[in-house]
Structure 1
Amino acid sequence: MKEYTALQHKKVLVLGLAKSGVAAAELLHELGAFVTVNDAKPFDANPEAQGLLTKGITVICGRHPEDLLDEGFELVVKNPGIPYSNPIIADAICRELPVITEMELAYLVSEAPFIGITGTNGKTTTTTLIFEMLEKGKLHPLIAGNIGTVACGVAKEATSDNVIVTELSSFQLMGTRTFKPHIAILTNLYDAHLDYHGTFEEYAHAKFGVTRNQTAEDFFIFNNDQEVVRQYAAKSNAQKIPFTTNGRAEEGISADEQVIYWNGNPILNRDEIALPGKHNLENILCAVAACLLHGCEIEAIKDVLATFAGVRHRSQFVRDWKGRKIYNDSKATNCLATKSALDAFNKPTILLAGGLDRGHSFEELRESMGNVKAVVAFGETGLRFIEFAKSCGVKATVAATNVEDAVVYAANLSAEGDVILLSPACASWDQYDSFEIRGDVFIDCVMKLT
């Protein structure tokens, strides 16, 4: 960890705990800041807050006092999920106090460079692929960010021999000021999290934060097949590395039906890749480009691609049962992700879908519903999803109470040769605390049933 003294003896407010808030509070305390933590959960039911109190950190729990900022804070570190409309955050902005997320703290103290991955879809798969390839190439990667490991905790232990491979949400990027990955990736941009950001423009602007501070010494890998991404890429000061799946290109990384090319030169055959689907090809191109730029040998990259079968909850193969192949794609929390999953399977499919109702349309899925022989829908969007499926000519539609019931209905509707696919196209928060929990419930139910 760098010797960082800029926060010594400064009063800092950490708003919201969870894993990132706890790690941020502990790091700030180590850096010599006077830390106050504020969390809505009552102290008696808040073991995280209790642990911080024993370390000498001031803790205010159970409420968010309106006059909290009158204490003379010089910095606010907020949980990424807290919106900027929150009264304390809005007050901080009015007072011109800097508001950051723990990702910024990680960057300030890290001795290791960062590879930052963002985009609407593909972040987790791309992040995991890069980590696996660099690990295979013995380049000492660490993994952090939105993928589940708090970045500032990882950064404390990192050395200059490491590289921190970081999945970045728009929420995290909005809270960065100087964060500058040496290699940045923008996989794609589609409508998402508009309940948080308000408009697509605000959402895209947050995503652009991955390259905003980059210079000519850095690299920006971006989706050259999307006009909106090209427009943002034009604003980047980094060396630009475009990727495309629409045939061989002379610059960047590209692919046709048989081969992947680096600056127009063939580097590997696609039949060497285990991971199916066009959407995964985009992720693979991003990962290969990042690893080549970081000095990874092509043989290490090939070894990983020959065996990598996907990440948990993202088109994850669960099991083969009586000739049916069952997949967990719980991380598909929007229509584009579900469309990509459906397009990857050219077999009759039983689709399990539904979840939190944000009022979004399912029309984006229509052209991918051709192989869907049945839909089992659940959650707040269940009835809307059934009506949509019927409008697509899918006759077998069932309303289930939850994922547990949906598995039973799907098994009964399926036949030998079918795919059973959980790919909800919706967030999980109406019934499950996270898409991970929803996916784990699905896997458990599949195993018990089969």
Structure 2
Amino acid sequence: MTTPDQPRTPLAGVERALVIGLGASGAAAARALRDAGVAVTMVDDRPDHPAAAELADSGIEVALGVAPVQRVDGADLVVPSPGVPEHAPVLVRADQLDVPVWSEPELGARLFPRRLLAVTGTNGKTSTTELLAAMLRAGGLDARTCGNIGVPFTAAAAEAPADAVLVAELSSFQLRFVQQLRPEVGVLLNLAADHLDWHPSLAAYGEAKARLWHAQQPGDWAVANARDPLTRQLAERLAPAGRAHFDGAGAVDGHGVGVRDGALVADTPAFHGRVVALDELPLDAPHHRANVAAAAAAALLAGVPADAVAGAARAYHPGRHRLELVAELDGVRYVDDSKATNVHAAAAALHSAPSIVWVAGGLAKGVDLSALAADLGAVRHAVLIGTAAEELAGVCAGAGVPAQIADSIEDAVVAAARQARPGDTVLLAPACASFDQFAGYAERGERFAAAVQALRPTTAPEGGHGGEA
């Protein structure tokens, strides 16, 4: 296993730093820089923020309601929040002045080198990160999840003992601005059109993700999805170290973990053979099998014994709002997959049941939703919400799927219940972000679940119980 070498002077030449955004990752970056003796200015274009007073009292200059571009001049380093796109004026100005731009994980990796395994991709990042950490713990390691899951990377790295292993979920926003962050195993799960309001193109989005492997060295591993041509191509073109693959439905060529004879089977330098039977996994869904295969490949490549990997895979249950069964009423299953915030994730969910009443919609984030037309074969009816409702209605019409628009998630649940027949699944798989109507995907899922619980078991389908919708 590799251990990153700490640069002797990780902040050489950095006397003044500009941190953009007062969120959790920005605060973690600012505190770490302050503790390293750097003069820190934090800016946020919002006129107030609940964390501002505490940060200011701790010796950090806080400027609210200020355009960040006004503070670039004189800075030796810029650390942007994930919400700041690369075309933002502040980052354009930093580039003009040759001021380095590091994401918060890049800063943490430089200041606090730790053993690191990292996961990115369009979908499945959180589940795979959790699975991988559970496998490492089962193997006796002190594994700590961080990044987009729980604690900011820099805070986790600062607090972790030297022998801990960080397991980081990283976004394309964070990876776009890394140079020295070096995971000994970096997993790219999949790649599909998403966040094209932030990245200029799908190609740029993919290359940002692939920076996960940029600083890897001999002995490190890049793990890519064998069934996703884009991730395979990125690994072949950009991964400088060893390459392995995972496949939740078939065998893999070379190193990695795939499926053969009803089981996950591994071929890695340390282990070759059967890992765990598919029917022993707690969730029988294609995307979950793929996540387990990806996590198993990473864990085995990191030296975890196969029996520990198998035990953790058997014990793991996906988190909230991920194909979560909310209730079964009058023979209809109500499933919350609110975390399906993009086309790729929703498409996977739409193949999880044979007959679906689909609840979808929200903020499309600049993504073309028409690709979903090919995945509506199991959908009998759609109930649509949010700013993308009209666009999704057009997608449904093109696929011959009846659809209606509801004003709220509560109205959508009632409408879906009226359309549903015994044997159907009412599936919340929005294919969109939630921020047009909710604080986040979790609130959307909770309100869906509450609306389901408010249904009376005798809610009758249109045309009578069991009749034609």
Q: TM-score range by the shorter chain?
A: over 0.9
Whichever residue aligns with residue 437 of structure 2, its letter is Q
CA contact (8 A) 2:196 2:365 kept: no
Structure 2 residue aligned with 1:256: 260
Match of 1:273 in 2: 281
Q: Does residue 1:388 correspond to 2:402, yes or no?
A: no
Partner amino acid for 2:23? Answer: A
Give the conservation status (yes or no) of the 8 Å contact 2:45–2:67.
yes
- Which moves more between the two structures, 256-265 or 281-290? 256-265
Pairing 1:26–2:34 present: no
Name the stretch that deviates more: 353-362 or 103-112: 353-362
User: Which residue is equivalent to 2:406?
Assistant: 400
CA offsets, 1:62-87, max 9 Å, x none? 121654223x2110111011112222
The answer for the alignment partner of 2:71 in structure 1 is 68
Could you report, residue by residue, the CA deviation over 1:84-141 in whole angstroms, capped at 9, with x for unpaired residues?
2222221111000001111111111334211110111221111111122223333111
Q: Distance in 2 between matches of 1:232 and 1:46?
A: 40
Q: Is the 8 A contact 2:252 2:258 kept in 1?
A: yes
1:34-68 Cα deviation digits (max 9, x unpaired): 111111122xx322111111011111111216542
TM-aligned CA distance change 1:249 to 1:357, over 3 Å: closer
Question: C-alpha distance in 2, partners of 1:84/1:258?
Answer: 45
Superposed displacement of residue 278, structure 1: 1.6
**Equivalent residue in structure 2 for 1:375, among 382, 391, 410:** 382
| One-letter amino acid of the structure 2 residue matched with residue 241 of structure 1 | A
Counterpart Cα distance in 2 of 1:116 and 1:274 = 24
Q: Is the 8 A contact 1:8 1:32 kept in 2?
A: no
User: Within 2, Cα distance between the matches of 1:257 and 1:195?
Assistant: 43
2:421 equivalent in structure 1: 415
Q: In structure 2, how many angstroms separate the alpha carbons of the residues matched to 1:169 and 1:312? A: 20
* Residues 346-357 of structure 1 aligned to structure 2 (within 5 Å): 346=354, 348-357=355-364
Give the TM-score normalised by structure 2.
0.89
Greater alpha carbon shift after TM alignment, 205-214 vs 226-235? 226-235
Q: Quote the offset at 1:9 in angstroms.
A: 6.9
Distance 1:14 1:7, change over 3 A: farther
1:224 CA displacement:
2.3
Deviation digits for residues 217-276 of structure 1 (CA, Å, limit 9, x no counterpart): 211111122332222212312111122333364532111361211116322221111222
For structure 2, the 5+ residue unaligned runs are 1-5, 457-469
Determine the C-alpha separation between the residues in 2 that align with 1:230 and 1:196: 23
Distance (whole Å) between structure 1 residues aligned to residue 261 and residue 368 of structure 2: 32
Q: CA deviation at 1:208?
A: 0.8
In structure 2, the residue matched to 1:366 is 373
- 1:94-105 to 2 correspondence within 5 Å? 94-105=96-107
Q: Displacement of 1:211 after TM fit?
A: 0.4
* Partner of residue 449, structure 1: 455
Give per-residue Cα distances to partners, 1:352-405, cap 9 Å, x unaligned. Answer: 00111445443432333222122110011112222322332323x221112222
CA RMSD of aligned residues (A): 2.1
Please give the alpha-carbon distance, in whole angstroms, between the structure 2 residues aligned to 1:398 and 1:67. Answer: 47
Please state if 1:88 is matched with 2:93: no
Aligned match of 2:245: 242
Query: Are the counterparts in 2 of residues 220 and 241 from structure 1 also a CA contact under 8 Å?
Result: yes
Residues 1:11 and 2:13 aligned together: no
State the one-letter code of the partner of 2:213: T
2: CA distance, partners of 1:386 / 1:21: 39
> How has the CA–CA distance of structure 1 residues 408 and 161 changed in structure 2, closer, same or farther, with 3 Å as cutoff?
same
In structure 2, what is the Cα distance between the partners aligned to 1:3 and 1:159? 19
Cα distance in structure 2, aligned partners of 1:7 and 1:382: 51
Q: How many residues align?
A: 445
**Cα deviation code 1:178-200 (max 9, x no counterpart):** 11111100111122111111111
Cα distance in structure 2, aligned partners of 1:7 and 1:447: 57
C-alpha distance in structure 1 between counterparts of 2:278 and 2:69, whole Å: 58
**Matching residue of 2:187:** 185
Q: Is the 8 A contact 1:118 1:169 kept in 2?
A: yes
Tell which deviates more after alignment, 99-108 or 230-239: 230-239
Query: In the superposition, relative to structure 1, how do residues 293 and 177 fare at CA in structure 2: closer, same or farther (>3 Å)?
Result: same
- Equivalent position SS for 2:454: helix
Contact kept? 2:381, 2:401, Cα under 8 Å: yes
SS in 1 for 2:435: coil
Give, in whole Å, the separation in 2 of the partners of 1:426 and 1:18. 23
> Whole-Å Cα distance in 1 between the matches of residues 383 and 145 of structure 2?
36
Q: How far apart in 2 are the matches of 1:20 and 1:173? A: 14
What amino acid is aligned across from residue 263 of structure 2 in structure 1?
V
CA separation of 1:359 and 1:86: change in aligned 2, threshold 3 A? closer
One-letter code of the match for 1:384? E
Task: Give, in angstroms, the shift of residue 417 of structure 1.
Answer: 2.2
Listed as ranges, the matches of 1:11-410 within 5 Å are 11-42=16-47, 45-64=48-67, 66-70=69-73, 72-234=74-236, 235-244=238-247, 245-247=249-251, 249-256=253-260, 258-263=262-267, 265-346=273-354, 348-358=355-365, 360-395=367-402, 397-410=403-416
Q: Which amino acid aligns with 2:350?
A: L
TM-score when normalising by structure 1: 0.93
Partners of 1:449 and 1:19 lie apart in 2 by 38
Q: Secondary structure at 1:177's aligned position in 2?
A: coil
- Cα distance change, pair 307–66 in 1 and its aligned pair in 2 (3 A): closer
SS at match of 1:164: strand
Q: One-letter code of the match for 2:301?
A: L
Cα separation, 1, equivalents of 2:214 and 2:14: 30
- Deviation larger for 197-206 or 260-269: 260-269
Structure 1 residue runs without a partner (length 5+):
none
Of all paired residues, the percent bearing the same amino acid is: 34
Structure 2 SS opposite 1:60: strand
